[in-house]
Amino acid sequence: MNILKETHFKNLGEYKKGKVRDVYIQPDKLILVSTDRHSSFDRIIAHIPYKGQVLNQTAAFWFDQTKDIIQNHVLAVPDPNVVVGKRCTVIPIEMVVRGFITGTTNTSLWTLYKEGQRDFGNFTLPDGMTKNQKLAEPVLTPTTKSDEHDRPLTPKEAVSEGIVTQAQCDELAKAAISLFKRGQEVSLKHGLILVDTKYEFGLDSSQRLMLIDEIHTPDSSRYWQADSYEARLKEGKEPQNFDKEFLRLWFKDHCDPYKDATLPEAPADMVEELSRRYIQIYEQLTGLKFKVSSEPILQRIEKNLEKYRM
């Protein structure tokens, strides 16, 4: 199987290994290689064939669909697994946008609402809402961007803590909401509901705001199938979603993924199924046919990055 676990290309710049991407840092640009690593429990639990290509090409599709709203960092997509981006000063905030009241974690909107919270700092929700209900307008629930653990904060706190100026905060909020509304509009045309997502921004050398990292991928966003949403909501059922959770649950059932030094190998049928789901969501989202290359993946990427050698 043509799986991309990691790269160690020479003469492409300073190498930095992220959870899922390998990054090569050059003075004015970044070369971001999306691998097939699958991260959960703050570690790599499996390698999913074609996952990196799906994430990279989905982001490329969305960067193109939203470039009229805000400029983005993309300089080139020289390979299905690679984006070359303009090097920016990262703004250390993740702009999380939510269009529905949902979630199961301690910090999710639904959990906090169910426990009685109505005032969320920059927006207030009415009484009587039900899980998975659409919000009247998309809301912002930003977090700090950290290598350890992200911390929720309101736009007001982001300004008072000196992370951004008020003008920058206003610009970030406007861009995030506009991007989200475009995402919902395009997704719905392809039978999908964009439920929530996160955006990352940076400043270029002229101090202009720029969308960076990724956008609307199945790893950074939650999607539901549109055609069954209303009926399932009325029946009290969970919406049909793009589900990666089954592999995570298997690990929880078969080991302690937070503490065990070595994890069991992910079952081959589950890995294959997750790969199929990534390809399916890509094709539905973009309306494009997923193309699989027969060329060895490392060899192909190395050839396509030849012009970027330093």
Task: Tell me the pLDDT tens digit for each residue of 50-89.
Answer: 999 999 999 999 999 999 999 999 999 999 999 999 999 9
What are 19's two structure tokens?
A: 């959870």
125-162: pLDDT as tens digits: 999 999 999 999 999 999 998 766 678 899 999 999 99
pLDDT < 70 positions in the chain: 1, 147-149
Do the beta carbons of residue 287 and residue 190 sit within 8 Å?
yes
> Could you tell me the domains of the chain?
89-234 (3.30.470.20)
pLDDT reported for residue 147: 62
- CA-closest candidate to residue 142, choices 118, 169, 182: 169
Residue 8 is encoded by which pair of tokens? Answer: 């160690």
- Structure letter (DSSP) for residue 121: S
DSSP 137-173: EEEE--EE--SS---B--HHHHHHTTSS-HHHHHHHH
Give the pLDDT score at 107: 85
Residue 247 and residue 124: Cα distance in Å, rounded?
Answer: 36
**Per-residue model confidence (pLDDT) at position 151:** 87
| Core vs surface per residue 179-202: b (16+ CB within 10 A) or e | bbbbbbebbeeeebbbbbbbbbbb
In sign, the C-alpha dihedral spanning 56, 62, 64, 66 is negative
Alpha helix segments (H runs only) across the chain: 51-66, 109-114, 155-160, 166-189, 229-234, 245-254, 268-286, 297-304
C-beta separation of 225 from 192 below 8 A: yes
Question: 76 in helix, strand or coil?
Answer: strand
Structure tokens at 295: 């060329």
Q: 48: which residues sit within 8 A by CB, 6+ positions away?
A: 36, 38, 271, 274, 275, 278
Per-residue pLDDT at 150: 75
